Structure 1
Amino acid sequence: MDRVDWTSWRAVLFDLDGVVTPTAEVHMRAWSEMFNAFLTNDAPTLPDAASADLSAYTDADYFAHVDGKPRYDGVRDFLMSRAILLPEGTSEDPGTELTVRGLGNRKNDAFNAVLARDGVTAYPGSVELLDHLRELDLPLAVVSSSANAPAVLAAAGLADRFRCVVDGRVATELGLPGKPAPDTFLHAAEALGATAADSVVLEDAVSGVRAGAAGGFGLVIGVDRGAGPDTLTRAGADLVVADLAELVVPATGGAR
C-alpha cells in the first residue's frame, strides 16, 4: 500500500505524543531523569537492591518498557525488567513516595514542568494532514495514554481539531485498559459514530500499533519516530511513514 484514500474512511484516530506533537521527546527526557535519579539515589536503599539491575536507564528501556503505555504501567514494567519490587501505592502518592504510583507521579511532575517552560509545537507535516482531513470533514480523535493530552493540545493550538479526546484520565474513569489493549481506540471510534473496520489508527509506539491491530481497525499506520519501520510492521502496521505529510493527497491525486 503506497497511498491512502481518505474518503474511504469514516474516522481517523491519532495518538498524540510522537504523532501529532513531538512531546514524546519531552516524555523521554522526563522518564530518563526520573528513573536515573531513582536508580542512583533511591533504589540502592531498597531491601532487594543486591539482586536488582541498577544500571543506567537508557532510550532502549523507554522503547522496550515505557513507550505508549499508561504511565503507571510503564513504571511497573520497567521495574519488573530490573527485578525491583515496589508497592503499588495510590494515585495520590507524592513523587517522593517510593511506590509504583509515586514514581509515576514524579515523572508527571517533571513533564508538566518542561511543558510549562518550553511549550510545544506540532510537527508541520502532522498539521498539514490535519488541515487536509478538515477539508474532507472527517471526524478526528486523539487517543493517548497520557493524562496530559488536553494540556498538550491546548499548548499546540490544536484543541479545536478533534471531536473526541480519549486520554489516560478518561480511560481510568471508564475502566478501559491501556494500550496495547485496543479498548481506548475502540471507545474513540464509537464516540465518533464509526466502527473499527472503517477507522484509521495512526501510531508511533509499538504498543499503540499492536492495539490498532488487535482491535481489527481497517488501517493501522505506523509513524516511524525511532522505533524503526520493520519493528512497526511486525507489530501490525499496514503502512509505515516517516512524516504525516506523506499521507496528504494532492488535488491531482496520489500520495505525496
Structure 2
Amino acid sequence: MNGVRAVVFDTDGVLLATAARHAAAWKETFDGCLPEWQPSHAGAPPRPFDPVREYRDLVDGRSRLDGVRAFLAARRIALPPGTPGDPPGCATVHAVAARKEEVFSAMLRTDGVRAFDDVRPALRELRRRTIRCAAVSASRHARSLLQAADLTGHFDALVDGRDAAALNLPGKPDPALFLEAAGRLGVPPAHTAVVEDALAGVEAGRRGRFRLVVGLDREADPHMTDTLRAHGADMVLPGLVGLPAVLEGEHT
C-alpha cells in the first residue's frame, strides 16, 4: 500500500470548538496588559488585540509561550523571559503565558467543550477504512478536553503540550509534534495526512514532508482558504465530511 495509511488531526478548531475561546482568552490577556506595555500617547489608547487577524497570524496553533513571543515581536514590545514559576501577570513572557492559561481555564470551567458535529462520523469512517488516527495539540489542555468530549477512544495516539514539554519538542511551525504523532502511529510522514486549521500548522505539515496537508476553513472564507494554501495546504475543506473520500483517492 503506497498511499495514506494515517491521519494526524490538530485539535482546537479541527476537532473541538475551542478556537474562538482561545482567541477570546488571548484578547483578554493582551488587552489587559497593553496599557502597561504601551501607555497612552496623546490621549490615544494602545491598539487592542485583533481576535481574528492577529489570532490567526500570530498565536493560532502555537504554544502559549511562542504565541506571546510572536505577539510581542509584532508589536515591538520587549519583555524579559521570566521563569516557568512566574505568576499570571504582564511583567514577563512566562507571566503573560500564565495569565492566558488562567483566563482560558476559567472560560472552560464556565462553558465546557464540545466536538464539531462532523468529527465522530469522519473518525468512524476512517476507522472503517483502517486508517489510523492521531490527535495533536500545542495545548496542555488537549488530553483532558478530548476526554471531556468523549473522543479519545477514536484515536490511536495523542500528542499534547505536556508531551511536547516532556520531550522538549519545538512548537509549530516546526513539524516536531506531527512527526512525534506519526511515529507513535508507526506510519512514516510519506504515508500520513495532516489536517489543520492554523497557518502555523499547515506550514508544519509542509515542512514535515507529509503526503497530504489538508487545510480546514470552517468559515468558508475565501481569503483564509487562499492563505492556508499559501502556507502549505495541498487542499482546503470546509469541514471533515468530505475528508474520508479525499483520503480514499490517496489511499492506494
Aligned equivalent of 1:218, options 207, 211, 216:
211
1:85-134 Cα shifts (integer Å, max 9, x gaps): 11101122110351101111110111111112211111111222112112
- For the Cα contact (< 8 Å) 1:75–1:100, is it kept in 2? yes
Is 2:233 aligned against 1:234? Answer: no
Distance between the aligned counterparts of 1:116 and 1:155, measured in 2? 12
Partner residue in 1 for 2:121: 128
Q: Residue in 2 aligned with 1:67? A: 60
CA deviation profile, 1:33-79 (whole Å, cap 9, x unmatched): 11111113x3246xxx87xx931111211112111111100001101
The residue type paired with residue 79 of structure 1 is: L
User: Scaled by the length of structure 2, what TM-score is found?
Assistant: 0.89
Q: Are 1:244 and 2:232 counterparts? A: no
Runs of 4+ in 1 over 4 A off after TM superposition: none
Q: Which amino acid aligns with 1:111?
A: F
2:37 to 43, 56, 63: 43
- Is residue 214–residue 235 contact of structure 2 (8 Å, CA) maintained in 1? yes
Provide the residue aligned with 1:147 in structure 2.
140
1:208 to 197, 201, 204: 201
Deviation at 1:249, TM superposition (A): 3.6
- Counterpart contact for 2:33–2:90, Cα < 8 Å: no
Structure 1: which 5+ residue stretches go unaligned? 1-5
Offset at residue 10 of structure 1 (A): 1.7
2:22 to 3, 6, 27: 27
Among the aligned pairs, what percent are the same residue?
43
Counterparts of 1:98 and 1:70 in 2: how far apart (Å)? Answer: 19
Which one of the candidate residues 3, 11, 14 is aligned to 2:6? 11
Alignment of 1:30-109 (within 5 A): 30-40=25-35, 42-44=36-38, 54-58=46-50, 59-96=52-89, 98-109=91-102
Number of equivalences = 241
Secondary structure at the counterpart of residue 140 of structure 1: strand
Contact 1:20 1:123 in 2 (8 A): yes
- Local SS of the residue matching 2:118: helix
Equivalent residues of 1:220, 1:238 under 8 A apart: yes
> Which whole-Å CA distance do the structure 2 matches of 1:8 and 1:216 have between them?
14
Note the residue ranges of structure 2 that are not aligned, 5 or more in a row: none
* Paired residues of 1:7 and 1:136 also in contact (CA < 8 A): no
Distance 1:29 1:150 in 2: 21
3-state SS in 1 of match to 2:73:
helix
Root mean square deviation, CA, Å: 2.1
Q: Report the alpha carbon displacement of residue 225 of structure 1 after superposing the two structures with TM.
A: 3.5
Structure 2 distance, partners of 1:97, 1:90, is 13
